[in-house]
Amino acid sequence: MSGVVEQDARLVVMANQIANNVPVGGEVPQQVADHIGKFWTGAMRADLKRIAEHSSDQLRQEVVAAVALLA
């Protein structure tokens, strides 16, 4: 299922990019969680949680922290 791998890779890139780009001054994990909560589907959020659990080394620390904040 290379497609699934590809899809995961995209989510990693997206999440890291969000963490890298949110406005400065606020708490990054909260901003990332808010953004993902607002624009991602439930399935994408679930996938990200799964990635954070199994291979969190691909994710920036702020993203890992954000995942914990996701509903």
x/- map, 28-67, another protein, by CB under 8 A: -------x--xxxxxxx-----------------------
- Residues 45 and 31: their CA atoms lie apart, in Å, by 15
- Residues 28 and 1: their CA atoms lie apart, in Å, by 33
* Binding footprint of another protein, residue count (CB under 8 A): 23
- Residues 55 and 71: their CA atoms lie apart, in Å, by 20
The 10 Å Cβ neighbour count of residue 69 is 15
> Which of 10, 49, 50, 54 contacts another protein by CB under 8 A?
10
Q: Which residues bind another protein (CB under 8 A)?
A: 1-4, 6-7, 10, 14, 17-18, 20-21, 23-25, 35, 38-44
